[in-house]
Chain A
């Protein structure tokens, strides 16, 4: 095995907004990257390689933007790598970056993911400019209806997730949406978008970027000695499955089950709900919180919505989920996965500010994409033996 420990020592993100017209694409990614470097107490020259992730190039109208962004991300004279795995891409970007350190290819790697949705029209691009796109909400709504039908979950569960995540967003200075006075009733009173998803149960369109600095064991230990706690990567996993065939269950996709099982095995986790302190899951529409709790074997099948109803997934609950406010509060699509991964790392570093889960030592992050076909996940710990 060539596998060596990898530490996260720098995290940065932009203030996510509907329209960041104050910055170019280059300015946006640089804002996140500069903050990550400052957090890591590194200079641009300290970075050995850059990994860039984002969702479809058609969203901004820039093809292979890693070429143009080489300059803004200080990658001249360095390896610049571009990942695109649909909505899971932010997570995949972090994983590809971490692997460059774990395999000893590089000592310090910068992973950056972004989307600037205001530069284009995602709905138009999803239909490849040909119209007729039902959009992500329309695509996922049947899966959510099926989940409700199968489990008998009460109709309030989705709105409860929406309220929790939007309230968490008030604790996160970078979050996009701040919906004063949001309540289960106000969510249910908002327009029905794609049954069962109301307007206030749907993610926003955001401009934003996220950046993470990875380093090796020596670098992680040095940061710890200097009083800057690192997050240690205890496992990474990705899985993909085909889009449509009769044996596929899109409500609880096999790729998500396998991805989590692989991850838990790597990290030595046998009882995820008990051992993991908190999770950042990719929940662009409210019902995906209970669906992923079941889909990644945190809750038993049919039991995920009960965790929501009990308040387990609140900060302070038994298994906090999306302390940052989640995708429901900020959704720069390509960055949304890396934001989940970064928030998990912030939690185990104890640097999550007002949305910190007390004593979090082991945190899970997940992102998914396409028709719930692509999964990327990691587990980070405050120490290399956090899971034991």
Chain B
């Protein structure tokens, strides 16, 4: 991209994804930062900039990120920032920060312990406080509305949604961090009752505790430190109107815009990791991104195998980078999302050769 510093992912780490951890968020972050900088072949001291993504409501405490700073080893003090967003947006801020050209290495983090509360009680709090939050509609109910719109439009079926669950959780068997994996049968999944019609239990993500960290570096340092840097060739995000009723839920134009700004049209995508917390979101996002039928989607298992809120998007970026560094692919895509019915979407495109 013209005028853009070449920046690469040079290391990452994700915690084991579990229903309930006995560790604090700071402990989870300490683990992934330690492992990610080791993966990059550096020490904490060599990190010039840090940016974390977490959510006070998930933690159940105001200023919850302040105690997480212990995980950074911010002494001497660090150039540091925090976003009340998924760690994927923390990576976006870090990526922009390195483009200033004066710092070489940054770490982005995401962390969340959803086990400490009932997500169905928390998620209505992210809606418009005057007209939507009082309805108490949770994320699963909003997702069900979108799933219904997609089924009615012929974009997916309940069977195809079950097939997404079977495929991704089957693939998750090879992912050591995955929380939910195994061999499932579409017909037996479809025999279960709805959680919120048309969503059945298999259409929903698990409730997960976990964290992730990703190390990025400017070109010269990346080449010094890493045999196979994963170059971020484009990253962009885009929001849509908040009110689901004001949007056409059959489409995700903000995903399409973000992908276009990130340069998706510059070459074929060989694998994609999408933040599809619900099965029906996969066909919707695949269409919004214009991905070819043969592009492998969420071979890590995706959010249906582990959904550490506030880190789920950053894990997608790490998994898409893994495709390049460890599995020989050359151009992959990661997607992250926030808000009801995919209100806000981020796309990161990576390449193996500079």
Contacts and interface: CB of A to CB of B under 8 A. Distances in A.
Interface of A: 1-3, 24-25, 56-64, 66-71, 75-86, 92, 96, 99-100, 102-105, 125-126, 128, 237-243, 245, 247, 253-255, 258-259, 262, 370-371, 373-374
Interface size class of chain B, counting residues whose CB lies under 8 Å from the partner chain: 35 or more
B126 A64 contact: yes
Contact of B122 (A63, A66, A96): A63
A76 B82 contact: no
B53 to A, nearest CB: 10
B239 A80 contact: yes
Contacts of A371: 66
Contacts of B77: 239-241, 253-255, 258-259
Given A96-B93, A126-B62, A373-B66, A237 B79 contact: yes
A37 to B, nearest CB: 18
Given A240-B69, A242-B74, A77 B126 contact: no
Contacts of B253: 77
A61 B69 CA distance: 24
B217 to A, nearest CB: 15
B338 A64 contact: yes
Interface stretch (B127-135, B223-231, B287-295): B127-135
B135 to A, nearest CB: 13
B343 interface: yes
A84 B83 contact: yes
Interface stretch (B95-103, B163-171, B185-193, B315-323): B95-103
Given A63-B125, A70-B344, A57 B57 contact: yes
Interface in B319-345: 338-340, 343-344
A67 B78 contact: no
20 contacts: A59-B62, A61-B125, A61-B129, A62-B125, A63-B55, A64-B126, A67-B343, A68-B129, A71-B243, A75-B239, A77-B254, A82-B83, A82-B84, A83-B83, A96-B93, A126-B63, A128-B61, A239-B79, A241-B75, A258-B76
A70, A75, A84 interface centre (most CB from chain B within 10 Å): A84
Nearest to A62: B129
A371 B56 CA distance: 17
Contacts of B257: 77
B282 interface: no
Contact of A2 (B4, B76, B84): B4
A128 B60 contact: yes
Contact of A240 (B61, B80, B239): B80
Given A63-B55, A63-B122, A80-B239, A243 B79 contact: no
Contacts of A370: 63, 66
B56 A58 contact: yes
B100 A99 contact: yes
Given A62-B126, A67-B338, A104-B4, A99 B62 contact: no
Contacts of B278: none
B56 A238 contact: no
B194 to A, nearest CB: 26
Nearest to A50: B239
Given A104-B3, A239-B79, A78 B63 contact: no
B133 A62 contact: yes
Contacts of A103: 4, 96, 99-100
Interface of B: 3-5, 50, 55-57, 60-63, 65-67, 69-70, 72, 74-85, 89, 92-93, 96-97, 99-102, 122-123, 125-130, 132-133, 236-243, 253-254, 257, 338-340, 343-344
Contacts of B125: 57, 61-63
Contacts of A59: 62
A245 to B, nearest CB: 8
A68 B338 CA distance: 12
Contacts of A64: 55, 57, 84-85, 126, 338-339
Nearest to A125: B62
A238 B55 contact: no
A56 B50 CA distance: 20
Given A57-B57, A258-B76, 15 more contacts: A3-B101, A63-B125, A67-B339, A67-B344, A68-B129, A70-B240, A70-B242, A77-B238, A99-B97, A103-B96, A125-B62, A240-B50, A241-B74, A247-B75, A370-B63
A81, A243, A245, A262 interface centre (most CB from chain B within 10 Å): A81
A128 B78 CA distance: 27
B240 A76 contact: yes
A259 B89 CA distance: 24
Nearest to A52: B84
A162 to B, nearest CB: 26
A85 B126 contact: no
Contacts of B80: 85, 238-240, 374
A78 B339 CA distance: 15
Given A2-B4, A3-B102, A67-B344, A81 B78 contact: no
